[in-house]
Amino acid sequence: MSTSSRVEFEKHCVRAGGMSLSPPSPTALRFCTIGSSVEHVAALKDDINERIWGPEVKVNEAGNLAAIWAPFRAKINGVVDHVGVGLSVSYKLNGQWKVTGLANSCRLPTKEEMLLE
C-alpha cells in the first residue's frame, strides 16, 4: 500500500476479487472489488503504511489455496489511524500466489497503540 502503485497491486492481486471492509465505528461495513480499492488507494496523496505481524497461514492439501489471518496497524501520514485484523484468500494461478479476496475489521487505536512504531 505504501507505494500506491497499480502495477505492484496487480502483481499480487486479482482485480475482480472481492473485499469486505469494516472501518472503525460509526462507518458501516462496505463491499467492493480489489480493483476499485486499488484505484482509490492509487489516487490518494497520503503516505499509507500498513503492517501485519504474526500471520496465521493455512494452505490446502493440493497447495493451491491459502488463507492468511493477521493483526495489522495502519499509519496515515505517520500517525496510527486504525488497527484491526485482516483476512486474505489466495490462489496459486500459473505458479504464482494471487490474492482473490480480502476482509478486515478495524477499530480506532488505543493511546498505547498510537505510540507504536
CATH of residue 12: 3.10.450.50
Specify the number of domains making up the chain: 1
Segment 14-30, tens digit of pLDDT:
999 999 999 998 899 99
Predicted structure pTM score:
0.84
Q: Which residue, chain included where needed, has cell 472503525?
A: 24
User: 102: domain range?
Assistant: 6-114
Identify whether 1 is part of a domain. no
The answer to whether residue 86 is domain-embedded is yes
Q: pLDDT tens digits, residue range 39-87?
A: 888 888 899 999 999 999 999 999 999 999 999 999 999 999 999 999 9
The whole-angstrom separation of Cα 43 and Cα 102 is: 20
Residue 1 has pLDDT above 70, yes or no: no
| Integer Cα distance of 22 and 17 in angstroms | 17
What does each C-alpha distance from 36 to 16, 22, 76 come to in angstroms? 9, 16, 20
CA max distance for the chain: 45
Reading the block at residue 71, the C-alpha cell is 493483526
